[in-house]
Structure 1
Amino acid sequence: MATKRRTRSVDRILEAAAGLFYESGIRGVGVDDVVAASGVSKSTLYTHFRTKDDLVAAYLARTDVAWLEQLQSAAQQAAQPRDQLVALFDALSEAFDRHGFFGCPFVSAGVEAALDSAARQATLIHVKRRNEWLLELSRDANATDPEHLAGHLGLLIDGALATGRLTQSRSVVDAAKSSARAAVLAQTPQPIRQKEHDNDI
């Protein structure tokens, strides 16, 4: 029973922190804000997270898992690896529709956090994991230069999220997806299908 209560408390804290950090940034949110939004006491929060940095790192670790799952789910709507490399951009549109145009939580955290912070380390881990997955897909697609293609697509993802926050427009995702399609086309030997509804390549 105690374990369940602990899990519920942690979930409430992290869910509240996620919304606040994403919308207002790490520096714009204090521990008191998270306490108020989560409905837990400050002592309960500090029982689970000794410092704000620990809370930020836990938030980013959870977001890393969730965001990769969203990218992979969008990619899996297409059958072939080379089609999946473009279909994954649909996750960005879905994220904007659900959460608004607040950019990439990892880019935001990386910019705000100190160079030696746990938050920046969590951001670097996320980028590494995401790019490794993109590299795996690029290799499965028989790209002529999979490392280059994976890096290119990673930059398109980050750029679309950052620019989306600036412009508050979904059109940046459409542009990023179009650029991804062109990059995949240039790197893969097979012709790429253009679906009528433009959900995949």
Structure 2
Amino acid sequence: MPEQTAPRTRRRPAYERAVATADRLFYEQGIHAVGVDQIASAADISKASLYTHFRTKDDLVVGYLTGRSTAWQEHVAAELPSRGETARDRLLAVFDMLGEWFVLPGYHGCPFINAEAEYGEGHPTHEVTLAHRDWVRQLFEGLLTEAGHDDPTGTALQLCLLYDGAMASAQADATRPWAAAARSAAGRLV
């Protein structure tokens, strides 16, 4: 009978390690502050392997932001139905979810606002940011429409300002209840 060996643990593929590492480092330290060498080293992959999956650092940054957007959208879609019986309740719950994020260790603000501050218009990240912001606006507009609000389009823009303002404020000063303040203001709008 052959000798039994311990089962080998399978490592995640290089692509997954690169994306997870880039996500963590870009969010913690900023995109410009993190180099490809640092990502490759921390992910335990070669630079050649990294460049096999991502032609440029910009491609990796776009992947990071796309992943962040997808994760937040999936989180909201999974959580929102159980957060309130009415569309108004669910809309206000979006601000509760922000508040839950703000108090987690390692909150460093909105990754999209941060990317815009580093790159801005004309960079490939700008399109990802616009798409994410459009999703947030559509989320609010849809909930306002469902609630029977008389100006869902205009009010959705106002809610986006509260949403963004709460994230930026919580990044600058974590000692105050920014999400609760944004939720209260949103409640007056809807």
Q: How many pairs does the alignment contain? A: 180
Residue 21 (structure 1) aligns with = 26
Q: CA RMSD in A?
A: 1.8
Of the three residues 148, 151, 155, the one matched with 2:157 is 151
Of residues 118, 137, 142, the one that matches 1:136 is 142
Question: 1: distance between equivalents of 2:47 and 2:176?
Answer: 38
Provide closer, same or farther for how the CA distance between residues 170 and 23 of structure 1 changes in structure 2, counting only shifts above 3 A: farther
What's 1:54 paired with? 59
C-alpha distance in structure 1 between counterparts of 2:13 and 2:162, whole Å: 36
SS of the residue 1:98 aligns to: coil
Contact map agreement 1:89 1:177 (CA 8 A) in 2: yes
* Alpha-carbon distance in structure 1 between the residues aligned to 2:66 and 2:120: 17
Using structure 1 for the length normalisation, give the TM-score.
Answer: 0.83
Unaligned runs of 5+ in 1: 185-201
Q: Equivalent residue for 2:109?
A: 103
- Corresponding residue of 2:123: 117
Task: Pick which of 167-176 and 82-91 moved more.
Answer: 167-176
* Structure 1 match to 2:13: 8
Q: CA deviation at 1:163?
A: 0.8
Normalised by the length of structure 2, the TM-score is 0.87
**Counterpart residue type for residue 171 of structure 1:** P
- Report if the CA contact (8 A) 2:99-2:178 is conserved: no
Look up the equivalent residue of 2:56 and give its one-letter code: T
Give the Cα separation in 2 of the matches to 1:56 and 1:102: 16
**Paired position in structure 2 for 1:43:** 48
Could you report, residue by residue, the CA deviation over 1:117-164 in whole angstroms, capped at 9, with x for unpaired residues?
Answer: 111111111111221121111100111110122111111111111111
Q: In terms of Rg, which structure is larger?
A: 2
The structural deviation recorded for 1:170 is 5.1
Corresponding residue of 1:188: none
Q: Does the CA contact (< 8 Å) of 1:164 and 1:170 recur in 2?
A: yes
